[in-house]
């Protein structure tokens, strides 16, 4: 979804009514899951859409968090998050195989943002993020990517085998969309699309309305999972509060400057829809390991 | 086969205008994905129960997962189901 005309909810509603009229699954599902299941006329839908996008006097960061919590941590939390509360070996291996593809796109996405902005605070933020996620600092501070591969090895999956496995269809499609957003859309939209996803491991969301956390923190203390799995999950647990919130603060600052907040909101919503499918792909992959 | 009086046979949404004949009956769906989901669900229940057809499937829940009861000739079959992004069955489990 996206705005053809800035802040024109009548135009956006007209687009949705037309697409729903021809039963386009993407538009109909989005309306059903976010706005209403009841067919509405253009005028009524325009009001509902305006309400959905309205910041309600709060910050863009609050709006982004609210929408993210509704989708992944609301009354029906995402099935992958439920599986990760006390993860099986198969769940963690499904995570390893699909997430290696995600992280390889991640560094590309962050690089696109850096290449397309002149703002030094954004460049510095992305550099730090890439280092944490992909580069690491020597052997003492391995990257998130290295920690992921080590987790796989601790569970009996060699990294050479991981590299040989192609992404599942939903992962591939999500990566294609993120690549396209970061390459073609405004870099502020790209920042919201990518770094908004880091909210998934933001442990503070539980104090902001999330029904559960990304995983039950007790698994970092007991013997349910390997030390390598603990190291991987702990790193995200510690880094992603800062990563997501610092990025959202930059997104807020620059979307106000460039006057493209509604585009930023729409692109963020598009990104989390594909993220939802990508998380399902982790579960789909995990089933391949259930009997092994 | 008895389906929801109003809206899509899977999600009860009234958006869309997609019709398909399933079990000899013309049914309304909001989109083609819901129609695929419904057909897959009916076929899976028929395969697991050996029933020729179904009288009704009662459902609660949402796209994250649905608790269902299939009915046929006074018999009941309880199950939960979740679909993937293309309408395929992602998870299915039987309940007593």
Vertex A100, ends A96 and A103: CA angle to 5°? 130
Residue A292: predicted pLDDT: 67
Burial of residue A205, with CB atoms counted within 10 A of its CB: 0-12 exposed, 13-18 middle, 19 or more buried: buried
pLDDT digits (tens, 9 = 90+) for A210-221: 999 999 999 999
From the list A31, A33, A170, the residue facing B85 with the nearest CB is A170
Strands B25-29, B56-62: parallel, antiparallel or unpaired by DSSP?
Answer: unpaired
Contact between B11 and A22 using a beta-carbon 8 Å cutoff: no
Question: What is the ipTM for the molecules in this complex?
Answer: 0.94
Two structure tokens written together for A15: 């687009």
B81 lies within 8 A of chain A by CB = no
Residue A237: is its pLDDT beyond 60? yes
Residue A169: is its pLDDT beyond 60? yes
Q: How large a percentage of chain A has pLDDT more than 70?
A: 98
**In chain B, which residues have their Cβ closer than 8 Å to the Cβ of A37?**
7, 11-15
pLDDT digits (tens, 9 = 90+) for B8-52: 999 999 999 999 999 999 999 999 999 999 999 999 999 999 999
The minimum CA-CA distance between A273 and chain B, rounded to whole Å, is 11
Helix ranges (H only) for chain A are 9-21, 25-34, 42-53, 60-72, 79-84, 89-116, 120-130, 144-154, 159-164, 169-184, 187-195, 227-258, 261-286
Q: How confident is the model at residue A134 (pLDDT cuts 50, 70, 90)?
A: confident
Calpha distance A162→A164 (Å, rounded)? 5
Query: Average per-residue pLDDT in chain A?
Result: 94
Nearest CA in chain A to B85: A277
The stretch A177-205 carries a mean pLDDT of 96
Residue A5: predicted pLDDT: 64
Task: Compute, in degrees rounded to 10, the torsion defined by CA atoms B15, B19, B21, B25.
Answer: 60
Contact between A37 and B85 using a beta-carbon 8 Å cutoff: no
The minimum CA-CA distance between B13 and chain A, rounded to whole Å, is 4
By the 8 A CB rule, do A148 and A104 touch? no
Which residues make beta-bridge pairs with B20?
Answer: B27
């Amino acid at each position: 979804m996206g705005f053809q005309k800035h802040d024109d909810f009548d135009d956006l509603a007209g687009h949705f009514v037309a697409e729903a009229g021809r039963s386009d699954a993407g538009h109909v599902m989005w309306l059903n899951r976010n706005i209403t299941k009841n067919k509405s006329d253009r005028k009524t839908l325009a009001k509902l859409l305006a309400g959905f996008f309205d910041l309600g006097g709060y910050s863009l960061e609050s709006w982004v968090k609210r929408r993210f919590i509704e989708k992944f941590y609301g009354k029906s939390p995402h099935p992958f998050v439920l599986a990760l509360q006390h993860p099986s070996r198969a769940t963690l291996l499904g995570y390893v195989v699909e997430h290696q593809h995600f992280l390889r796109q991640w560094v590309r996405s962050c690089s696109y943002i850096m290449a397309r902005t002149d703002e030094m605070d954004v460049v510095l933020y992305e550099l730090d993020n890439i280092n944490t996620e992909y580069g690491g600092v020597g052997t003492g501070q391995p990257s998130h990517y290295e920690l992921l591969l080590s987790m796989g090895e601790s569970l009996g999956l060699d990294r050479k085998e991981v590299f040989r496995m192609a992404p599942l269809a939903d992962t591939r499609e999500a990566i294609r969309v993120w690549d396209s957003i970061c390459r073609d859309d405004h870099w502020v939209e790209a920042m919201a699309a990518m770094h908004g996803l880091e909210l998934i491991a933001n442990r503070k969301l539980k104090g902001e309305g999330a029904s559960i956390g990304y995983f039950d923190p007790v698994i970092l203390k007991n013997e349910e999972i390997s030390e390598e799995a603990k190291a991987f999950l702990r790193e995200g647990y510690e880094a992603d509060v800062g990563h997501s919130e610092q990025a959202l603060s930059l997104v807020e600052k620059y979307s106000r400057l460039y006057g493209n907040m509604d585009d930023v909101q729409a692109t963020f919503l598009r990104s989390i829809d594909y993220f939802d499918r990508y998380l399902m792909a982790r579960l789909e992959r995990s089933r391949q390991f259930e009997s092994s | 086969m008895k389906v929801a009086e109003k809206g899509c046979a899977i999600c009860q949404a009234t958006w869309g205008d997609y019709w398909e004949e399933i079990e000899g009956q013309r049914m309304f769906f909001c989109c083609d994905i819901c129609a695929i989901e419904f057909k897959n669900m009916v076929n899976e229940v028929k395969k697991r129960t050996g029933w020729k057809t179904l009288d009704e499937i009662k459902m609660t829940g949402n796209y994250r997962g649905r608790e269902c009861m299939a009915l046929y000739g006074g018999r009941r079959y309880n199950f939960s189901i979740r679909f993937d992004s293309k309408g395929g069955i992602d998870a299915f489990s039987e309940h007593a």
